[in-house]
Amino acid sequence: MKAGRKRYILSFLLIFILLGLVIWWNICSGSISLTGEQIRQILLGDQGNGTAYNIIWEIRLPRILAALLLGGALSVSGFLLQTFFGNPIAGPYVLGISSGAKLVVAITMIAFLGKGITLSSWGMVAAAFLGSLLAMGFVLLVSVRVHDMSMLVVCGIMIGYICSAITDFCVTFADDSNIVNLHNWSLGSFSGMTWQSVRLMAVLVLLGVCVSFLLAKPISAYQMGEAYARNMGVRIGLLRVLLILLSSILSACVTAFAGPISFVGIAVPHLVKTLTKTAKPLLLIPGCFLGGAVITLFCDGIARTVFAPTEISISSVTAVLLVPVVLVMMLKKRRGSL
Amino acid sequence: MEQKNRKNRNKTGIGLLCIMLLLVILTGCGASDTKEALKDGSYTVYVKLLGGTGKASVASPASVSVEDGQAYAQIVFSSKHYDYMLVDGVKYMDESVEDEEENSTFTIPIDGLDCELDIVADTTAMSVPHEIEYHLIFRQEEEELAGAEKEYEAGQEPDDREASADRKETVKEADGGIDFTTLKKTGGVSLLYATQFQIEEYGVYKMITIGDERFLLVPDGEEAVANLPADVTMLRQPKKAYVVSTSVMDLLQAVDALDDVRLSGTKQEDWYIQAAKDAMADGDMLYAGKYNQPDYEKIISENCDLAIENTMILHNPEVKEKLEALGIPVLVERSSYETHPLGRLEWIRLYGVLFGKEEQADAFYQEQVAKVEPIMKKDATDQTMAFFYVTSNGSVNVRKPGDYIAKMIQLAGGSYLPQAVKEDDENALSTMNMQMEDFYAQAKDADILIYNSTIEGELDSVDTLLAKSPLFADFKAVKEGKVYCTTADFFQETTGIASFIEDLHAVMTGDTSHELKYLKEVK
Amino acid sequence: MSGLQTDNLTVGYGNPLVKEISLCVRPGRVLTLIGPNGCGKSTILKSVTRQLKIMGGSIFLGGQAMETMKEAEIAKKLAMVMTEHIRPELMTCRDIVATGRYPYTGRLGILTEADWQKVEEAIAFVHAEDVAVQDFNKVSDGQRQRIMLARAICQETEILVLDEPTSYLDIRYKLDILSGIRRLAREKNVAVIMSLHELDLAQQVSDLIACVEDGGIVIDTPEKIFSGNRVQKLYGVADAAFDPLLGVPCMLDAEDRKLTDPGKDPKGGRAPEVFVISGGGAGISVYRRLQREGISFAAGILSENDVEYRIAKALAVNVVAQKAFYPIGEQQLTEAKKWIDMCAGCICLLDTFGPLNEACRELQSYAEQCGKLRQVEEVLIEG
């Protein structure tokens, strides 16, 4: 037990150190170069150089915070779903959340903007959120009636297909510019985050993560299988609903503010489990949140800087970076076990 | 930031709005209190014209006739150059007989014999027709005229100004700069073909209205203006603009305003406009990222003072909001919503105003209009023309019949195919996809085919077209060898609209002496 | 009324499978369910552990009706060990046992010192100290079941439900688990209800046996159930296929090879080829060998209380026997000689003879005289 505890402490220490490093790296990098000393001054509130101050406070910092929060949200969502389904490739979008969001965003773009009615950015956020919640509502309805949880994955996949089909149908009637924009939206981006978005995000994400943390005990019972969990006093029906709700709201948040970002939710729980060598929710929920934050921010930094001023889409970066890592891990695990 | 100021103004504004309303109700148009039922008949009333440059006047006394209780005044101006008047949004045409050199005369309704009202009169005295705001005072007693005049000059009652429904008036003390509420509208730019923007003049300041947004332009060297209504953004003449739209760039280079553009949304290699290409090569213009993912850091470090975006930005409202939050005003140009090609071109006058190159802009525009109007006046030919391209999944993308290119074809004297399939003009889209078979059915007898080269590049030969679909071999235009494609720079060079119309006309009439600028023959 | 009690419980998946079960297990007692596959044993246990909705009747835990109890209360009253293997990720055996403390820990499920103490005790109880730190998925099946039992112990409940806990286990772990269960019942006063396929072990470990048959349940002591042909009827096998006294199943050939009269010509049956003189248990392995090789045989002269008597009775065509506590007499000797006459060969497995089976020595010399006495190896190889 002692060895385990030491490992946990070291792992979290490592994550915090990486977090600090990656935040500093992101604050310092961008198309305008500022010295470390300048940045330090600005962070302490020196408004002297208005432009630099704006760059740091209005452009870089909101973006950094958004990447941290949303990356953490995705990872926690992925962890919850992987535990719930006992499936290592379950991710935040396995229940069809991003497809639902994409559908409503597509309809919004085509219907409103096609008629020349302008929407504010909150309108787009609301549209994506609505789509996610509709998908989630549908899944919840099914989950109440169905006892075999693998049916839910099927349900999620079906929703994904239906939403994609309807989206394609709408796209047929759309102008080329709308299609381009929809494609761009579905790649996901942290560009142009404002403090208002960050505030709202923070409330939703931190709330979701805290509630998940408080559910650590029933989730760890659930890891023993439904039968034993019930025997230990867990209210399975309620837990199911809560897990679906939480993971959906977390991933809906991400989809609404930044578009769908792939693979982070699937990969990070595996990475954190490998690091801490445990699957205890009490440790993994904060671990995934922080780990996901670090990784997403890192990827966003790369997306921003490698080909500046052109931005690579964040989903490409996460996929390219994380897929090999997870593959290597899974192979190692295979060799190790059995 | 400006947003914060505006927010502060809002708070006090709402409180004082109530007081304003009270005043409005009390003062109103004075005649409302003293209105009595007028008897039908003719009257004589003294009238005074105020406003404008002060050189114009109106004949006094004027005759007023009352029918069914409604009074009508006959106004005779001191010049013959007024072609119409606007009273309460209704247009009244000049009644004078042109040949007899009479002065402009109008008959307008008035609220009783003692009344005042604001009117707009359009003068053709200058090179370009011009609307001027005036104030008319009617009094039965001549002595009262002078008094009324003095009152008017002294206290501009707020309700006399146009009240737009959602404007929130503020009366807070001006903190630096001229108080907007003291400014009077002195006229406006009358547009020939454009419908998507308006420019009104307030002395040296220009109020630009595009859709729901309004900007008050402060020309170089003038004082800033404070106490603007909530929906108006103050704009100084831009020196470091960020221009996203390629079509705008072309208009700017035509008025020699490229020096005031610092950032572009298109990369150097993607420019066809040589001046822009050169500017980027020289480092005078920098690439600042795609319109939906701009490099905010670069934009604010270059102290950009205006972003000119096109309607694509409406799909990414967060970009517009972010730029505004950073203190950069965003002007969304809506030239793509113009249905008349000359209307599209007329946006050059807006940019002329914006960048302080009004004369050049107006001159250029007149020149282009002069090129096109002769063609417009000619009889239509019987030529039919299709304008299209084949998309990657085999359907044909055509312009909608209300689109500006279709209009250009009509102006040039031809008719556009395909004809109206289903007119839903409310839709701001200008193109639509059709099946190859439908296109074949509708356009196979078109005299001329024009292929849109923007997406895939210019067509090298007719064989390339046939490779896209064998049906093309059956088209009349293909058989007769009248296939053309647009040049690659066509869409970027908005200034070439007139030339394009000339090209179209030449192709339609078979005029081989005209050198085609934006069309290429495809053999 | 403590322990587990059911009142007219009806269970099934949609259609009632077992109806009106009324059973009662007091703390310290072990009740084992036996019955053929599909009869409903697992269904009953799943219904008790609420994995399945009950179709009628009610269940009482420690005197309280289960419907009225909250999940958390039930968790402190009833623990279970199921057949299926769980596959938890990255958990050590100790972690698994620790989950048993779940109903007693606070909001976040963190165990106190006292809780860890109980965990250690439970691990010690099942003698699983050496695997405590290993990954659960890496230890053997038997050790896993031990750990699951420890987990249930840790849950400190009045009632323990086990569904075929010894499937997949080798003899060592079977005995291990069942002795653990026995100790648990006795020492910790737990009411145990479980299902087993191993009838011999069921006989040894249970206080009560419940036969689940024909949609109903019959509960009685092991002595009563394991007698006569109750069990054979329950499972639908021939009477001779199972020895209820020893709890041992016997493989039989399809034909009935029983003959009662040495002179009779067996109709359709085979005459014995070998006569085995044996006693004291020496013959058991030889009987089995002969049966495997398909050599029919007769055996004698055995006393009915000889340990190999029952097996000989099951496997041999005929056994010449004498009542218990009676010396072997002339009658048996004569009978045995007749059988030897019938057989082709004879083997004697006894080296020494005692006063009670002098007759066997005579039999041996008789066989020798007849020239039928063979060595064991000869006979066996021949088959």
* Cα→Cα distances B155→A164, B158, B184, B450, C329, Å: 64, 9, 12, 61, 149
Report the pLDDT value the prediction gives residue B10, as an integer from 0 to 100: 52
H-type alpha helices, B355-435 = 358-377, 404-411
How many Å apart are CA B329 and CA B354, to the nearest integer? 13
Average pLDDT for residues C170-190, to the nearest whole number?
Answer: 90
Residues B367 and B384 in one domain: no
> Domain residues for B110?
34-153
How many Å apart are CA B521 and CA A80, to the nearest integer? 63
Interface test with A, best of B287, B309, B318, B398 (most A CBs within 10 A): B318
Q: For the residues of C236-271, what is the DSSP string, one character each?
A: T--GGGEETTTTEE----SS------TTSPPSSSPP
Identity of the residue in C75, C78, C89 whose CB atom sits nearest the CB atom of A223: C89
Residues B420 and B479 in one domain: yes
Give the end of a domain, one of B371, B405, B426.
B371
Give the end of a domain, one of B320, B355, B371.
B371
**Do B317 and A54 count as a contact with CB atoms less than 8 A apart?**
no
- Nearest to C180, CA basis, from C170, C190, A203, B483: C190
Q: Which residues of A touch B427 (CB under 8 A)?
A: 114-115
Residues B300 and B283 in one domain: yes
Q: Classify residue B468: in a domain, yes or no.
A: yes
How many Å apart are CA A106 and CA A172, to the nearest integer? 11
Residues B318 and B412 in one domain: no
Report the pLDDT value the prediction gives residue B172, as an integer from 0 to 100: 30
**Do B296 and A192 count as a contact with CB atoms less than 8 A apart?**
yes
Q: Classify residue B205: in a domain, yes or no.
A: no
Q: Which residues of A touch C100 (CB under 8 A)?
A: 232
Q: Please, are residues C168 and C196 in contact by the beta-carbon 8 Å criterion?
A: no
Q: Does B429 touch chain A (CB under 8 A)?
A: yes
Q: Classify residue B173: in a domain, yes or no.
A: no
Identity of the residue in C51, C84, C103 whose CB atom sits nearest the CB atom of A233: C103
Structure tokens that stand for B499 in this block: 């030339």
Query: Could you read off the pLDDT of C210-262 as tens digits, one per residue?
Result: 999 888 889 999 888 888 888 888 888 877 778 787 777 777 765 544 555 55
Which phi-psi region, left, alpha or beta, contains residue C325 (left: φ > 0; alpha: ψ -120 to 50)? left
Q: Is residue A309 reached through a cis peptide bond, with omega within 30 degrees of 0 on the bond before it?
A: yes
What average pLDDT values come out for chain B (523 residues) when binned by 10 residues? 52 54 46 55 84 77 84 84 82 76 83 83 74 84 76 58 31 54 82 89 88 87 82 88 87 88 88 85 89 88 90 85 89 86 89 90 90 84 88 80 84 83 55 82 88 82 84 87 86 82 87 85 85
Q: Please, are residues C21 and C10 in contact by the beta-carbon 8 Å criterion?
A: yes
Q: pTM for the whole thing? A: 0.72
Q: Please, are residues A214 and A285 in contact by the beta-carbon 8 Å criterion?
A: no
Q: What structural domains does chain C harbor? A: 4-243 (3.40.50.300), 274-382 (3.40.50.20)
Average pLDDT for residues C70-83, to the nearest whole number?
Answer: 90
Residues B258 and B356 in one domain: yes
Residues B413 and B312 in one domain: no
Chains in contact with chain C (at least 3 beta-carbon pairs closer than 8 A): A
Q: Please, are residues B66 and B56 in contact by the beta-carbon 8 Å criterion?
A: no
The chain A residues in contact with chain C (CB within 8 A) are 1, 4, 86, 214, 216-217, 220-221, 223-225, 227-228, 230-235, 273, 277-280, 282, 337
Q: Classify residue B1: in a domain, yes or no.
A: no
Q: How far is A268 from chain C (nearest CA, A)?
A: 16
CATH number of the domain that B318 lies in? Answer: 3.40.50.1980
Q: For the residues of B347-368, what is the DSSP string, one character each?
A: HHHHHHHHTT-HHHHHHHHHHH
Length of chain A in terms of residues written:
338
Please tell me the total count of domains within chain B.
Answer: 3
- DSSP-derived 3-state class of residue A85: helix
How many Å apart are CA C335 and CA C318, to the nearest integer? 11
**Do C103 and A278 count as a contact with CB atoms less than 8 A apart?**
no
Instruction: Indicate the fold that domain A2-336 takes in CATH.
Output: ABC transporter involved in vitamin B12 uptake, BtuC (1.10.3470)
* Residue reference for tokens 């359009």: B122
Residues B300 and B416 in one domain: no
* Cα→Cα distances A252→A109, A190, A249, Å: 18, 15, 5
Q: Classify residue B345: in a domain, yes or no.
A: yes
How many Å apart are CA C122 and CA C129, to the nearest integer? 10
Identity of the residue in B287, B294, B317 whose CB atom sits nearest the CB atom of A119: B317
Q: Classify residue B392: in a domain, yes or no.
A: yes
Residues B491 and B465 in one domain: yes
Report the pLDDT value the prediction gives residue C115, as an integer from 0 to 100: 93
Q: How does DSSP classify residue A258?
A: H
Residues B400 and B332 in one domain: no
- Nearest to A292, CA basis, from A248, A240, A250: A250
Residues B429 and B355 in one domain: no
What ipTM score was computed for the predicted complex, to two decimals? 0.82
Residues B363 and B496 in one domain: no
Identity of the residue in A118, A124, A177 whose CB atom sits nearest the CB atom of B312: A177
The chain A residues in contact with chain B (CB within 8 A) are 30-32, 51-52, 54-55, 58-60, 109, 113-116, 118-121, 123-124, 172, 175-178, 181, 184, 189, 191-194, 197, 308-311
Report the pLDDT value the prediction gives residue B161, as an integer from 0 to 100: 37
For the cut 80, the answer to whether the pLDDT of residue C130 exceeds it is: yes
- DSSP-derived 3-state class of residue B408: helix
Give the end of a domain, one of B133, B153, B173.
B153
Q: Classify residue B204: in a domain, yes or no.
A: no
How many Å apart are CA A153 and CA A148, to the nearest integer? 10
Identity of the residue in C80, C96, C138 whose CB atom sits nearest the CB atom of A231: C80
For the cut 90, the answer to whether the pLDDT of residue C173 exceeds it is: no
What average pLDDT values come out for chain A (338 residues) when binned by 10 residues? 80 94 91 80 76 82 94 95 84 85 86 70 84 87 77 84 89 70 79 86 94 94 90 89 90 88 90 91 95 95 83 88 84 64
